[in-house]
Amino acid sequence: MALRMWASSTANALRVSCASKAHVSPAFSLSRCFSSVLDGLKYATSHEWVKHEGSVATIGITDHAQDHLGEVVFVELPEPGGSVSKGNGFGAVESVKATSDVNSPISGEVVEVNSKLSEAPGLINSSPYEDGWMIKVKPSNPSELESLMGPKEYTKFCEEEDAAH
């Protein structure tokens, strides 16, 4: 119990989450326990993050998502000038055998895409919140950000999601 409390308080200090795996069938369970969740970002239930700074919002996928997907080998992104809408797909990542949709947490116009990801898709794994950002959007409806989760809420969401499987 003492070790578990230490691990939990350390995890909180480092802003990490730890999911309980007690009830998961070994055939389906994932071995990783800790994923980082950053302050200052908002989070979608489909595991994308958004950072709103002034008139631009930066979007990527979370540490939880990249960890569950595995090594990213290819990233499909939209063209600048296109539009994205809340909850709908704007691109995809390929990890080994799977393509996985990436959904936009907010609506708006794509003003920039991360061109480094075409040559270095692994940035999504190594730096999901910084160098692995995917698109920058000019929000068309900033109030959409209010319906997204904050860090603590997202951490709890991940824990509950992992515990349920």
Binding site residues, another protein, CB under 8 A: 24-25, 27-30, 46, 68-70, 73-74, 76, 87, 89, 92, 94-101, 103, 161-162, 165
Neighbours of 143 (CB within 10 A): 8
Half-sphere exposure of 67 (CA within 13 A, CB side): 16
Closest listed residue to residue 112, CA positions, set 156, 160, 162, 77: 77
Neighbours of 37 (CB within 10 A): 25
Closest distance to another protein from the beta carbon of 103 (Å): 6
Q: How far apart are CA 138 and CA 55, in angstroms?
A: 6
Closer of 52 and 68 to another protein (Cβ) = 68
Closest distance to another protein from the beta carbon of 93 (Å): 9
Closer of 14 and 98 to another protein (Cβ) = 98
Closer of 10 and 99 to another protein (Cβ) = 99
Closest distance to another protein from the beta carbon of 59 (Å): 15
